Amino acid sequence: MSCVLGIDTSNYTTSAALFDGKTMHQQKMLLPVRQGALGLKQSDAVFHHTQQLPQMIARLFEQTGCRPDAVSVSTRPRDQEGSYMPCFTVGMGVASAISSAFSLPLTQCSHQHGHIAAALYSCGRLDWMQRRFLAFHVSGGTTDALLVEPDEARVFAPHLVAGSLDLKAGQAVDRVGVMLGLSFPAGQKLDLLAQQSTADFRIHPTLRGCDCSLSGIENQCEKMMRQGQSPADIARFCIESVCAALDGMTVRPLWG
């Protein structure tokens, strides 16, 4: 049975996996960010990926005893012209070296492409790669609504149909989280904090056509903090505001 090695060196996680056709074996590690900071310089991200990736791949090989028959790597943030981020060069360099050393086929894809495929795999719907559907990629760098269609060359092709006009969802979450004293990236911790709140918010998202505007979330959370509202309520308001914006985008005519 064939085995595929997958590599992703994005902000802010070093990731590698071996898939043997039945089981997904994974290794991932967050990049270290100092307390109170809102991210890393790309030069620092490149350095940490360079330190972490070889160790992770070595652990995967030890864990599985599997030698890959092919390699896949994310080389850019999105499938758009000019999409580039230096941290992806680390994964590309390692993948190219392994591919060349063992004469293995090498497939390049975008980080966003990988997110969509991972979501389909996780919910057991890989068959959707052969149909047209709407996907959302919500992170520190994107709040994208994507029309995904089958594509002969790339299996499927995502096309951007809507997004955020200013702050991205992950940026809003991380900024509010750090404001509340949480470490970066703050998404998981902010979500746990929000679950401690019983506040009932009526949120009306800011939408312009199919696009959303999220900058008001940070401003409102700062106001709530000055007014002395609890961290749990502020966290809940932030999370629910992002959800309200995404809900609003889904009822807009995104299909074209």
For residue 204, what are its two tokens? 């009306």
Q: What DSSP string describes 51-98?
A: HHHHHHHHHHHHHH-PPPSEEEEEEESSSSTT---TTHHHHHHHHHHH
For residue 130, what are its two tokens? 């052969």
pTM score of the predicted model: 0.88
The pLDDT score that the predictor gives to residue 159 is 92
The pLDDT score that the predictor gives to residue 256 is 56
In this structure, which topology does domain 169-250 adopt according to CATH? Nucleotidyltransferase; domain 5 (3.30.420)
**Three-state DSSP class for residue 192:** helix
The pLDDT score that the predictor gives to residue 253 is 64
Contact between 44 and 79 under an 8 Å Cβ cutoff? The reply is no
Q: Please compute the mean of the pLDDT values over residues 191-212 and round it to a whole number.
A: 95
Instruction: State pLDDT tens for residues 124-134.
Output: 999 999 999 99
Instruction: State pLDDT tens for residues 90-105.
Output: 999 999 999 999 999 9
Instruction: State pLDDT tens for residues 102-160.
Output: 999 999 999 999 999 999 999 999 999 999 999 999 998 899 999 999 999 889 999 99
Q: What architecture (CATH level 2) is domain 4-112?
A: 2-Layer Sandwich (3.30)
Domain with CATH 3.30.420.40 in the chain: 4-112, 169-250
Given a cut of 80, whether residue 201 has pLDDT beyond it is: yes
